Amino acid sequence: MAEKGVKIAPAEGRLGVLLVGLGAVSTTFVAGVEAIKRGLALPVGSLTQMGTVRLGKRTDGRSPKIKDFVPIAELNDIVFGAWDIFPDNAFDAAMKAGVLDKDLLNQVSEQLASLKPMPAVFEQNYVKRLHGDNVKTGKNKMELAEQLIEDIARFKSENECSRLAMVWAASTEIYLEETEAHKSLDAFEKALYDNDPSVAPSMIYAYAALKSGVPFANGAPNLTVDIPALTKLADQQKVPICGKDLKTGQTFMKTILAPGLKSRLLGLHGWYSTNILGNRDGEVLDDPENFKTKEESKLSVLEHILQPEVYPDLYDGFSHVVRINYYPPRGDNKEGWDNIDIFGWLGYPMQIKIDFLCRDSILAAPLCLDLALFMDLAQRAGMKGIQEWLSFYFKSPQTAPGLYPEHDIFIQLMKLKNTLRHLRGEDLITHLGLEYYD
C-alpha cells in the first residue's frame, strides 16, 4: 500500500500553469478549466479528472478515480500565465480562435480577460507565416532566456504559486535537426550567446523553464527539449520533461487502429491520410518548412507500431502519406480522412475508410490539463528528466537515447497507470490473470 510507494510531496498551495502560446489550444484549455470549476461543463477527455485506475484483483472491486489515488493539484488551485506574440488577452484570443461558443466564453470572460500574454521570445525565421509585435528584444539569445527566467520568477511571486509547470502550445516551428550546439549544455549556452540559428525560440523557453526548476511539456513537434543539452539540464536540475506533439485527431485514430490490425496479423499495403484545417495552426503548417516538422512526427507512428522488420510479409514497404491542407472555412473543425489498404487471409485486399470530423482544440485541451497536472505530480514525486510514462499524450514520444518509442495507445495507457500504481506502492497489473483459475 501507500507506505511501500514513493514519497510524494502534497499538492499544497497554488500551481501556476505557464502556457507558451495563447492560441486555440491554450484558450480552449483555460476557458474549459474555468467553466469546469463553475460546474458549467464536464472535463470530458481528461484522465486526471475522469479516469480511474484498477487496483488489485478484478474481484477486489477497487477502482478509485486517479485524482483520488494520487495527490493531484485541484483545479481551483491552478492559476494561468502565458506568452504570445499577439497582445490579445485570453478572452479576445478565444473569440478569434472561434472554438468555443460565445455564450460559454461570456460566462468566464472575467477570468479570461485578466490573462494577458507576456511578450514572447520569437523569431520570424522559425514560424514563417506569423507576424506579431508583442515580442522581447535582447542583444543575444541568452539575454532573452534571462528575461524569460525573470518573467517566471515574477509570475510565481505575484501569483503566490508554490509550484509551476510550463506547456508549449505555441505554433509549430520549422524543422530542425540536432547539431553540435545541441549536444552538451556548454555548447548550448555558448550558442545562446552567439545567437546560433540552431537554437529555436522554443529551446530558449525550455532552457528558461529548466533553469527555473519548472517542468516542461512540449505539445508541438518541434525538437525543443528533445536534445541532449536540455535532457541533461533536466536531469541536473531534477526537473521532469516530456514531449512531443499532442496525439489528437488522426494520429490518435492511427494508434488505436494500427495495433488492432497488427494484433490480428492483417497486412498493410498503404495508409493515406489527408486533412483540411482552417485555424491559425493550419495556416502555419501551410508553410513547407513548418509542415516538415509535423510530417516527421506523424509519419513515425506506423513504422514503430507495425514493426516491418519483425513482420516483413505483412508490413514491408507499405506506403504512408500524410497531408494537411489549409482550408479557412473549417476553422478549428478539422476533417481528417484516412484510406487504409489492408490485406487478409491468402493476401485478399480490403479497405477501411475513416472520416473523422473532429475539433482539434477540443481534443487537445484536456491533454494540456493532464500534462500540467501529471508533470507537477512527477516533480513532487522526485521524478526527473524524460517522463516516458506520459507517452500516452504524444505523437512522437520522447525516450531515453537508443530506446524506440512506444506508440500503441493501449500499451501507453497501461504504462501510465502502472506508473501511478508504482508511485503508490500498489501491485502492477500484468493482465496475466491465471490466479482466477487456480
Ligand X SMILES: NC(=O)c1ccc[n+]([C@@H]2O[C@H](COP(=O)([O-])OP(=O)(O)OC[C@H]3O[C@@H](n4cnc5c(N)ncnc54)[C@H](O)[C@@H]3O)[C@@H](O)[C@H]2O)c1
Quick check: 245 binds ligand X (CB under 6 A)?
Answer: yes
Stretch of 137-145, 230-238, 242-250, 406-414 contacting ligand X, by CB under 6 A: 242-250
Q: Determine the interface stretch with ligand X among 21-29, 59-67, 106-114, 426-434 (rule: CB under 6 A).
A: 21-29
- Per CB under 6 A, 171 contacts ligand X: yes
Cell triple for 317: 514497404
- CA-CA distance, 259 to 326, in Å (whole number)? 30
| Closest separation in Å from C-beta 273 to ligand X | 14
β-strand partners of 298? none
169 binds ligand X (CB under 6 A): yes
- Binding mask 100-129 toward ligand X (x if CB under 6 A, else -) reads --------------------xxx----x--
Least distance to ligand X, CB of residue 279, Å: 5
Min CB(426)–ligand X separation in Å:
32
If the CB atoms of residues 71 and 282 are measured against ligand X, the closer one turns out to be 282
Instruction: Work out which of 231, 248, 275, 396 binds ligand X, going by CB under 6 A.
Output: 248
Say whether residue 360 binds ligand X (CB under 6 A).
yes
Site membership for ligand X, residue 130 (CB under 6 A): yes
- Touching ligand X, residues 201-220 (CB under 6 A): 201, 219-220
Q: How far is the CB of 225 from ligand X (least distance, A)?
A: 14
* CA nearest neighbour of 31 among 92, 87, 109: 109
281 belongs to the binding site for ligand X (CB under 6 A): yes
Shortest-Cβ-distance residue relative to ligand X: 23
Say how many residues touch ligand X, by CB under 6 A.
37
Least gap, CB of 128 to ligand X (angstroms): 11
* CB of 10 vs ligand X, minimal distance in Å: 31
Of the candidate residues 17, 230, 363, 383, the single one contacting ligand X (CB under 6 A): 363
Among 80, 86, 207, 389, binds ligand X (CB under 6 A): 86
Among 16, 21, 243, 278, binds ligand X (CB under 6 A): 21
Q: Tell me which stretch binds ligand X (CB under 6 A): 8-16, 259-267, 357-365, 378-386.
A: 357-365
Q: Which of 136, 182, 280, 330 binds ligand X (CB under 6 A)?
A: 280
- Which residue's CB is nearer to ligand X, number 167 or number 377? 167
Nearest alpha-carbon partner for 6 in 380, 398, 410, 401: 380
Site string for ligand X, 172-201 (x = CB under 6 A): x----------------------------x
Three-class secondary structure assignment of the chain = CHHHCCCCCCCCCEEEEEEECCCHHHHHHHHHHHHHHCCCCCCCCCHHHHCECCECCHHHCECCEHHHHCCCCCHHHEEEEEEECCCCCHHHHHHHHCCCCHHHHHHCHHHHHCCCCEEECCCHHHCCCCCCCCECCCCCHHHHHHHHHHHHHHHHHHCCEEEEEEEECCCCCCCCCCCHHHCCHHHHHHHHHHCCCCCCHHHHHHHHHHHCCCCEEECCCCCCCCCHHHHHHHHHHCCEEECCCECCHHHHHHHHHHHHHHHCCCEEEEEEEEEEECCHHHHHHCCHHHHHHHHHHHHHHHHHHHCCCCCHHHHCCCEEEEEEEECHHHCCCCEEEEEEEEECHHHCEEEEEEEEECCHHHHHHHHHHHHHHHHHHHHHCCCCEECHHHHHHECCCCCCCCCCCCCCHHHHHHHHHHHHHHHCCCCCCCCCCHHHHC
* Contact status: 85 vs ligand X (CB under 6 A): yes
Binding site for ligand X (CB under 6 A): 20-26, 83-86, 97, 120-122, 127, 130, 132, 169-172, 201, 219-220, 245-246, 248-249, 279-281, 284, 360-361, 363-364
